[in-house]
Amino acid sequence: MDTTLHDPLVGQVLDGRYRVDARIAVGGMATVYRAVDTRLDRVLALKVMHPGLAADATFVERFIREAKSVARLAHPNVVGVFDQGAQDQYVYLAMEYVAGCTLRDVLRERGALQPRAALDILEPVLAALGAAHRAGFVHRDMKPENVLIGDDGRVKVADFGLVRAVDSVTSSTGSVLGTVSYLAPEQIEHGTADTRADVYACGVVLYEMLTGAKPHGGDTPAQILYAHLHEGMPAPSAAVPGLAFELDDLVASATARNPDVRPYDAVALLAETLTARAALDDDQLDALPPGAHAVAAGAGADDRTSVIPRAAATPVTQVTPAGVPLPAESAGPDPVHRTSRLIMPQRVEEEPERRPVPRAARGRFDNRRGVVALVTAFLLILGVGAGVWYINSGQFTRVPALIGRSEDAAKKKLSGAGLDLKKVDRQFSDTVERGQVISTDPATGARIRGNGSVTLVVSRGPETAQVPKLDGMPLDRARSELQKAGFAPGDTTSEFSDGVAQGAVIRTEPAAGVKRHTDTAVALVVSKGAPVDMPNVVGDPVADATAALQGAGLKVTVAPDQVNSEQEAGKVAAQSAAEHARLTKGDTVTLTVSKGPRMVPVPTVTGQKADDAQKALEAAGFKVKVDRSFPFLSDEVSGQSVAGGSQAPEGSTITITTKGL
pLDDT digits (tens, 9 = 90+) for 388-431: 222 223 345 778 888 888 999 999 988 888 888 999 998 888 77
CA distance 494 to 503: 9
Percentages helix, strand, coil for the chain (3-state, rounded to 5) are 30, 25, 45
Q: What is the mean pLDDT of residues 235-245?
A: 93
In a domain, 253, yes or no: no
Which of these three, 527, 558, 579, is where a domain ends? 527
Q: What is the mean pLDDT of residues 124-128?
A: 94
Residue 164: pLDDT band by 50, 70, 90 thresholds? Answer: low
In a domain, 140, yes or no: no
Same domain, 489 and 434: no
Tell me what the pLDDT averaged over the chain comes to.
79
In a domain, 247, yes or no: no
Residue 129: pLDDT band by 50, 70, 90 thresholds? Answer: very high
In a domain, 624, yes or no: yes
pLDDT digits (tens, 9 = 90+) for 287-316: 877 755 433 333 333 332 222 233 322 233
pLDDT at 340 > cutoff 60: no
Distance, CA of 574 to chain centre: 54
Return the CATH number at 631.
Answer: 3.30.10.20
Percentage, residues of the chain above pLDDT 70: 78
pLDDT at 524 > cutoff 90: yes
Which residue would you say has higher pLDDT here, 226 or 623? 623
Q: What is the pLDDT of residue 330?
A: 35
What residues make up the domain containing 538? 532-593
Which residue would you say has higher pLDDT here, 165 or 449? 449
Percentage, residues of the chain above pLDDT 90: 40
Residue 154: pLDDT band by 50, 70, 90 thresholds? Answer: confident
Q: What is the pLDDT of residue 381?
A: 56
Same domain, 541 and 580: yes
Q: What is the pLDDT of residue 304?
A: 28
Same domain, 444 and 495: no
In a domain, 289, yes or no: no
640 closest CA partner among 587, 601, 586: 601
Same domain, 522 and 539: no
Q: What is the pLDDT of residue 180?
A: 82
Same domain, 551 and 609: no
Same domain, 512 and 548: no
DSSP result, 270-338? HHHHHHHHHH--HHHHTPPPTT----PPPSSGGGGGGGSPPPPP--EEEE-TTS-EEEGGG-S--GGGS
Domain count along the chain: 4
β-sheet bridge partners, residue 84: 93
Q: Which of these ranges, 104-118, 219-233, 464-478, 504-518, has the smallest mean pLDDT?
A: 219-233
Q: Which of these ranges, 186-190, 239-243, 294-298, 433-437, has the smallest mean pLDDT?
A: 294-298
Q: What is the pLDDT of residue 354?
A: 33
pLDDT at 36 > cutoff 70: yes
Residue 465: pLDDT band by 50, 70, 90 thresholds? Answer: confident
DSSP result, 586-647? T-EEEEEEB--PPEEEPPP-TTSBHHHHHHHHHHTT-EEEEE-SSTTT--BEEEESS-TTSE
363 closest CA partner among 444, 263, 270, 254: 263
β-sheet bridge partners, residue 416: none
pLDDT at 169 > cutoff 50: no
Same domain, 389 and 481: no
Which residue would you say has higher pLDDT here, 548 or 371? 548
CB atoms inside a 10 Å sphere around CB 261:
27
pLDDT digits (tens, 9 = 90+) for 441-450: 988 878 776 6
Q: How wide is the angle at C-alpha 132 spanned by C-alphas 311 and 158, nearest 5°?
A: 25
Q: Which of these ranges, 173-177, 426-430, 497-501, 546-550, has the smallest mean pLDDT?
A: 173-177
pLDDT digits (tens, 9 = 90+) for 561-610: 999 888 889 999 999 999 999 999 999 999 999 998 888 899 999 989 99
Residue 162: pLDDT band by 50, 70, 90 thresholds? Answer: low
In a domain, 50, yes or no: no
Q: What is the pLDDT of residue 380?
A: 56
Which of these three, 477, 507, 527, is where a domain ends? 527
Catalytic residues: 141
Which of these three, 569, 593, 617, is where a domain ends? 593
In a domain, 375, yes or no: yes
Same domain, 437 and 381: yes
Same domain, 470 and 514: yes
Distance, CA of 191 to chain centre: 11
Same domain, 363 and 442: yes
pLDDT at 616 > cutoff 90: yes
Same domain, 365 and 427: yes
In a domain, 542, yes or no: yes
Q: What is the mean pLDDT of residues 147-151?
A: 83
Q: What is the pLDDT of residue 273?
A: 95
Q: What is the pLDDT of residue 303?
A: 30
**What's phi and psi for 452, nearest 5 deg?**
-75, 180
Same domain, 418 and 489: no
